[in-house]
Copies of this chain bind each other. A is one copy, B any other.
Amino acid sequence: MNEYYNEHSRHYVGVDCVIFGLCEGKLNILLIKRKMMPGKDRWSLMGGFVEEDESVDDAAQRVLYQLTGLENVYMDQVGTFGEPGRDPGARVISVAYCALINFDEHDRQRVSDNNALWVPLDEMPTLAFDHPQIVAKALEWLREKVHRRPIVFRFLPELFTLRQLQSVYEAILGEDLDKRNFRKRIAEMDVLENTGIKDKRHSKRGATLYKLRIEN
């Protein structure tokens, strides 16, 4: 390390995770009620700091693991937030990440240990700091991405019915979709494999269970 670097300031760098999951047919977000200052008792995103020899992406994965017990989850950056006053406790530059997880696979014990709660998007409380902007940006990112990439499967179990899949899209986009058009579009995507198994939990006839073809 040479003088060139020493002239400059160093900063705390954080990651904040916008964690989405599907619960009872609604898009939910995982929030924590802060136990510490700053922002004590206010709702916020789960965050953490980037440590010495850790990449920023790894820090996000670590924070997600800590809260949900999930590893190797698909996460994407939604933006970096670097206003000097954004965290009233200290200058923290934060990189925001978005994660899509399968609600049924996460570790509920960890969630409650972290004082966290799943909240439907339409009942979201006002968040601390600049977290409202972060969530807004994450949602925008999600709605745009959904049109281009088969990412919604992250919300579902390995096997799922077309009705379930449609519900996920409807929850994300916030609008009802036409069943026939939806199925046609999915078929054109050509990413599903019919398992031949029927799920009779929700109908007498039984709905075909599909899974995502491996390459996706």
Q: Does A37 contact B (CB under 8 A)?
A: yes
> Using a Cβ–Cβ cut-off of 8 Å, how many residues does chain A contribute to the interface with B?
35
Please give, as numbers and ranges, the residues of chain B lying within 8 Å of A12 by CB-CB distance: 5, 8-11
State the CA gap A44–B90 with chains docked (Å): 32
Please give, as numbers and ranges, the residues of chain B lying within 8 Å of A57 by CB-CB distance: 82
* B50 and A82 within 8 A (CB): yes
* B80 and A55 within 8 A (CB): no
* B93 and A13 within 8 A (CB): yes
* B95 and A80 within 8 A (CB): yes
Q: Does A196 contact B (CB under 8 A)?
A: no
* B37 and A55 within 8 A (CB): no
Q: Does A175 contact B (CB under 8 A)?
A: no
**Which residues of A, 1-46, contact B by the 8 Å Cβ criterion?**
1-2, 4-5, 8-13, 36-37
Q: Does A104 contact B (CB under 8 A)?
A: no
Shortest beta-carbon distance from A204 to chain B in Å? 46
**Which residues of A, 46-104, contact B by the 8 Å Cβ criterion?**
49-57, 59, 77, 79-84, 89-93, 95
* A51 and B5 within 8 A (CB): no
Of B5, B51, B81, which contacts A90 at CB under 8 A?
B5
- Contacts A13-B93, A82-B57, A95-B80 given: A4-B51 contact, CB under 8 Å? no
Contact code string A96-123 (vs B, CB < 8 Å = 1, else 0): 0000000000000000000000000000
* B89 and A1 within 8 A (CB): yes
State the CA gap A123–B89 with chains docked (Å): 47
* A4 and B55 within 8 A (CB): no
A sample of 17 more A-B contacts (CB under 8 A), given A8-B49, A13-B82, is A1-B89, A4-B36, A4-B89, A5-B89, A5-B90, A10-B10, A10-B13, A11-B12, A11-B13, A50-B82, A50-B93, A52-B91, A53-B84, A56-B80, A56-B82, A80-B95, A82-B95
